Structure 1
């Protein structure tokens, strides 16, 4: 790698917090589900389940965080994820795994700022690209990726008659925008 990226702890903490808030919301949702709606096949071809989307999210965090020291490796390959299909079947197992991921992310807060250069393996056009990245960049990606799938999960849940909070699957940047708009509206009407 040609460069090493250094991120101050406060910036890293902000990225970690966004991931923790998103994962916490997802974990609470999953923990309340029974296996039947969690596994129910939806869509024209029956390819979508709540469980598959939740497993997919977990797989991506596992690719980054792994089992060992953080980050798990200097090379991340989201294409070759573990894909633990038992997480698609058991909402309680998925909720436990999400809690574990949250605890792993919490440990990142206690770290001193580190040189966190990461090599990202990305398949494109029949070959593999090795892209420079960082732990911070990958945490930013995971927030957006998780929110994207939570929006899909929200649509699937609504089709099953499962109610969700208004902010479920809404990106933290959008939530901040909504708060600014509400504050501005409140200030104008005061």
Structure 2
């Protein structure tokens, strides 16, 4: 498999973030009124971008528990869009690099911090899948806020069987 495919799939998936930020108001971005978690679209966008920003550094040791968490991204579409652009440029800069390199990722899976050995391409694929998961939650929030999304596959993993209502 071409590593270019992983980069292109990541970029295409993240276009959803740009699309969301282009039509939401700051009030919609930061609305945290939908049960049961009362999280906002902005908190999920910030989390997605923080995850990528955290792994897109030139290091063999990456710590997912030590992300930026810029709270302004959660409440301001313009700031979030600027953050998105920074992340996109970092992803584009991966073209031609060794995505099969080994990285050691520190994460907390619920039992304390642990170090996990990945290939960078595996970590990038995990980040893309993780992004889709958060898009699904954002889709749920949109439903509660009565915000319509034009992309019927938004928040669905590409491997999810398509029902008649999903194109």
Q: Which category of TM-score, normalised to the shorter sequence, fits these structures? A: 0.7 to 0.9
Taking the aligned partners of 2:15 and 2:97, their CA distance within structure 1 comes to 24
How far off its partner does 1:128 sit? 2.9
Who is 1:169 aligned against?
Answer: 155
Whichever structure has more helix as a proportion of its residues is 1
**Which range moved further: 51-60 or 117-126?**
117-126
Residue segments in structure 1 that go unaligned for 5+ positions in a row: 1-9, 67-71, 179-190
Q: 1:97 aligns with which of 70, 83, 94?
A: 83
3-state SS of 2:107 partner: strand
Q: 1:65 aligns with which of 53, 56, 61?
A: 56
Is the radius of gyration larger for structure 1 or structure 2?
Answer: 1
Who is 1:54 aligned against?
Answer: 45
Compute the RMSD of aligned alpha carbons: 2.0
Who is 2:139 aligned against?
Answer: 154
Structure 1 residues 6-50: Cα deviation after superposition (integer angstroms, max 9, x where no partner): xxxx52111111110110122111121110111111234763111
Q: Return the TM-score normalized by structure 2.
A: 0.86
Residue segments in structure 2 that go unaligned for 5+ positions in a row: 163-167
Change (3 A) 1:151 1:43: same
Taking the aligned partners of 2:118 and 2:87, their CA distance within structure 1 comes to 21
How far off its partner does 1:121 sit? 0.9
Change (3 A) 1:171 1:126: closer
Structure 1 residues 99-144: Cα deviation after superposition (integer angstroms, max 9, x where no partner): 22112111212x2436511001123565432211121011110011
Q: 2:122 aligns with which of 99, 115, 137?
A: 137
Is contact 1:88-1:94 (8 Å) kept?
A: yes
Q: Which has the higher contact order (CA 8 A, sep 6+)?
A: 1
Q: How many residues align?
A: 161
2:73 paired with 1:82: no
